[in-house]
Amino acid sequence: MGKWDFSRREFLRLQLYGSAWVAMGGASGLACSRKQGRDTGTKVIVLGLDGMDPSLVSRMMREGKMPNFSQVARQGFFGPLGTSTPPQSPVAWANFITGANPGRHGIFDFIHRDPATYLPYLSTSKSEPADKSITLGDYVIPLSSGEIHDLRKGRAFWEILEDHDIPATVFKMPSNFPPTATRQKTFSGMGTPDILGTYGIFSYYTDQPVDIDTDLGGGKVYTVSVDNHTVKASLIGPQNTYRKDTPDSEVGFTVFRDPEYPVAKIVIDDREWLLNEGEWSPWIELSFSMMPTVRVKGICRFYLKQVHPYFKLYVTPINIDPSDPALPISTPEAYAKELYERFGPFHTKGLPADTKALEHGVLNEEEFLAFDDMILEERLAISEYELNRFESGLLYLYISSTDQRSHMFWRLTDPKHPAYDSKLAARFGNTIEDIYRRMDDFVGKILTKVDRNTRLLILSDHGFTPYYRSFNLNSWLKDQGYLHLKDPDKQGETEFFQNVDWTRTQAYALGFNGLYLNRRGREGEGTVSSAEVPALEQEIASKLQNLRDPESGKRTVVKAYKATESYAGPYGRKGPDIVVGYNRGYRASWQTALGKIPKHWYETNAKKWSGDHCMASDILPGILLTNQKVIRPAEASLCDLTATILACFGIPTPEEMDGKNIL
């Protein structure tokens, strides 16, 4: 592959975990041959509610809409919780897992870059194919297993608990794929890919042409023909690295459409499912053939959106099958199979809500919420199962619907938002409040399991704010003279910095908050010497903090955080040199995240993705709710909760942690 022979497809399908690993040895896990830990007098229950905002919770508590939250607060404490810099979920949850800042755990954004090539990769894990193979005809046979690595550094708190023989069950922890090797029961959460090795690619089969926004990605539209009321198509599986040309694996299916009634039959091999228009299928188990003795299993669900006059069939991203995982998703490996035997197939993809399908209009608001309700019910059922059998040590549970619904429905709570729709607001304007109330109900169930020896910690990783305007940071850097193009006439036509003249470039942006200096000796074609770094950092930071949106006159950036002041630890120099802390209402554009350079600085955000948190950490704290009094409440942060969990069991805070006990 040449230096710039790199496409969005390769970024999505190879850089993120790599489907190649699927065909290079499969998952492995640690067997658990003994009772999990000792009995502990103290028990700790931790509930992670992604993206729950303290201002919204406070208002709803005052209005009597969250009585169980209020009950816990009266016993102990409720207030804001300091988040990470930047306040992005993989960074924040890594702070919580390790009790340390990104300089110690090495996760700085959803997207990192290879400084040698400037190319992006998704930040939390990386795969490597087998390094030895032989070729037999059209097949490539690996002689060694591939590997997949969690890029998060530092020890997870449940590893430290294990050192002290304290049992832990950690269900759906973000930033933990593949799951940290341990005898504790863990299941990976955000960052766990679909079977393609991506964050989630839906499929949409239709005979009505439809365009989707390629900048957003997340789905594939297949134009099909209806021949004698029959549709023939294929589900696309992982790339087959056992074949020389690594073709996509496929599972064919046929749909028979009733000529008169809104009903259709889906057939895969000798299995069939009859669906009415507007109906979801059960989980469908798939098997993708790589070679005669190797198959990769996945699971998906069909949604028959329309039968007449047009055919419209949505298929969820194909999840890793928990009954036979093609990638490591739990410790011990048998834990995933245990849950499968109890509940049947269930979502394993890290963030299962299909926000991209809603954004592209493939699913409407009602359909998206019906899908997310199925996800939520599944998650709550497994959580209650773990809660009911929890007897000792620590139990961690996680809900993502609070975050995903806030992203997609904020526009319907805010008449000032460019995407506000009064008719939709009348139907769906309470969506965020509704999911907060559902979480209050769940806390009520948790409280039935809380006794005087149980510490309850409820937290979110960050809050939320409206997202009105996008800022093209690379375009600004270009116009300020910090970034130069090879061909200015082609500005905005390429991504991944393919048109950047690195020999004249001093700074560039990648990810949602990161700004990097093109440093000599670090970047592949660095131009900025170590002596020039402090002045250049200060100059860019000052300009950003004084930047105002010409449309509104508001500051675009609240604070430009210098890495040297924000991060401490051995990995601090590997991340951005400046973390751009955007103001309420502003965020880096989708184009900025992947190194695209449009011709203008600002864009109005009229998308359904209307709430966000990739702004300044100072304005987006998470929540902390606990049934014990808190010391130093104004200083409490995610890192402190990690030290606090250890302190509940009498374990001193390790030197490598930044936090302190707050109970």
One DSSP character per residue, 36-102 reads SS---SSEEEEEEETT--HHHHHHHHHTTS-HHHHHHHHHSEEEEEB--SS--HHHHHHHHHHTS-H
Spatial neighbors of 602 by CB under 8 A, at least 6 apart, are: 469, 470, 471, 472, 549, 550, 551
User: What is the per-residue pLDDT for 566?
Assistant: 96
Question: If pLDDT is split at 50, 70 and 90, which confidence band does 126 have?
Answer: confident
What are the residues facing 280 on neighbouring strands? Answer: 303
Spatial neighbors of 377 by CB under 8 A, at least 6 apart, are: none
Question: If pLDDT is split at 50, 70 and 90, which confidence band does 332 have?
Answer: very high
Strand 585-588 vs strand 465-471: parallel, antiparallel, or unpaired? parallel
User: What is the per-residue pLDDT for 12?
Assistant: 44
User: If you average pLDDT over residues 609-632, what whole number do you get?
Assistant: 97
Nearest-10 Cα torsion for 104, 109, 112, 115: -60
Question: If pLDDT is split at 50, 70 and 90, which confidence band does 663 have?
Answer: very high
pLDDT, the chain, mean: 93
For residues 97 and 563, the answer to whether their CB atoms sit within 8 Å is: no
Give the CB-side neighbour count of residue 151, counting CA atoms within 13 A: 27
pLDDT in tens, 3-42: 333 344 444 443 333 333 343 343 334 444 446 789 999 9
User: If you average pLDDT over residues 552-579, what whole number do you get?
Assistant: 96
pLDDT in tens, 230-260: 999 999 999 998 888 889 999 999 999 999 9
- End-to-end Cα separation, the chain, in angstroms: 54
Percent of the chain topping pLDDT 70: 94
Q: Using CA atoms, how far apart are residues 89 and 156, in angstroms rounded to an integer?
A: 16
For residues 169 and 386, the answer to whether their CB atoms sit within 8 Å is: yes
Alpha-carbon torsion 634, 640, 646, 652, what sign?
negative
Can the peptide bond before residue 466 be classed as cis, meaning omega within 30 degrees of 0?
Answer: no
pLDDT in tens, 502-549: 999 999 999 999 999 999 999 999 999 999 999 999 999 999 999 999
Q: Is 468 helix (H, G, I), strand (E, B) or coil?
A: strand
User: What is the per-residue pLDDT for 136?
Assistant: 75
User: If you average pLDDT over residues 261-272, what whole number do you get?
Assistant: 98
User: What is the per-residue pLDDT for 285?
Assistant: 98
As given in the structure block, the two tokens for residue 447 are 């409280």
As given in the structure block, the two tokens for residue 473 are 């940071």
Q: Using CA atoms, how far apart are residues 188 and 177, in angstroms rounded to an integer?
A: 5
Type of residue found at 179: P
Can the peptide bond before residue 325 be classed as cis, meaning omega within 30 degrees of 0?
Answer: no
Q: Using CA atoms, how far apart are residues 206 and 192, in angstroms rounded to an integer?
A: 29
pLDDT in tens, 284-296: 999 999 988 889 9
pLDDT in tens, 82-106: 999 999 999 999 999 999 999 999 9
The yes-or-no verdict on residue 210 having pLDDT over 70 is yes
User: If you average pLDDT over residues 634-640, what whole number do you get?
Assistant: 96
Q: Using CA atoms, how far apart are residues 501 and 55, in angstroms rounded to an integer?
A: 45
Q: Is 572 helix (H, G, I), strand (E, B) or coil?
A: helix
Q: Using CA atoms, how far apart are residues 654 and 60, in angstroms rounded to an integer?
A: 38
- Sheet containing 622-626: which strands, arranged edge to edge? 77-81, 622-626, 454-459, 43-49, 393-399, 168-173, 185-188, 330-331
Question: If pLDDT is split at 50, 70 and 90, which confidence band does 143 have?
Answer: low
User: If you average pLDDT over residues 55-64, what whole number do you get?
Assistant: 98
User: What is the per-residue pLDDT for 451?
Assistant: 96
Q: Using CA atoms, how far apart are residues 265 and 503, in angstroms rounded to an integer?
A: 59
Type of residue found at 339: L
User: If you average pLDDT over residues 559-588, what whole number do you get?
Assistant: 97
The CA–CA distances, whole Å, from 141 to 25, 195, 240, 460 equal 11, 21, 11, 46
User: What is the per-residue pLDDT for 162?
Assistant: 98
Q: Residue 79 burial (CB < 10 Å; 0-12/13-18/19+)?
A: middle
Nearest partner of 455 among 91, 37, 40, 115, judged by Cα: 40
User: What is the per-residue pLDDT for 243?
Assistant: 87
- Listed by start position, the domains of the chain span 202-320, 468-618
Q: Helix 365-388 vs helix 333-343: angle between axes, to the nearest 10 degrees?
A: 110
What are the residues facing 186 on neighbouring strands? Answer: 170, 331
The larger pLDDT score, comparing residue 114 to residue 135, is at 114
Question: If pLDDT is split at 50, 70 and 90, which confidence band does 458 have?
Answer: very high
In the chain, what's the furthest Cα-to-Cα distance?
A: 75
Can the peptide bond before residue 86 be classed as cis, meaning omega within 30 degrees of 0?
Answer: yes
Question: If pLDDT is split at 50, 70 and 90, which confidence band does 144 have?
Answer: low
User: What is the per-residue pLDDT for 13?
Assistant: 44
Question: If pLDDT is split at 50, 70 and 90, which confidence band does 265 have?
Answer: very high
Alpha-carbon torsion 94, 100, 102, 104, what sign?
negative
Q: What's phi and psi for 60, nearest 5 deg? A: -65, -35
Q: Using CA atoms, how far apart are residues 489 and 325, in angstroms rounded to an integer?
A: 48
Residue given tokens 């699927």 in the structure block? 22
Nearest partner of 495 among 474, 478, 476, judged by Cα: 474
User: If you average pLDDT over residues 481-488, what whole number do you get?
Assistant: 98
Question: If pLDDT is split at 50, 70 and 90, which confidence band does 2 have?
Answer: very low
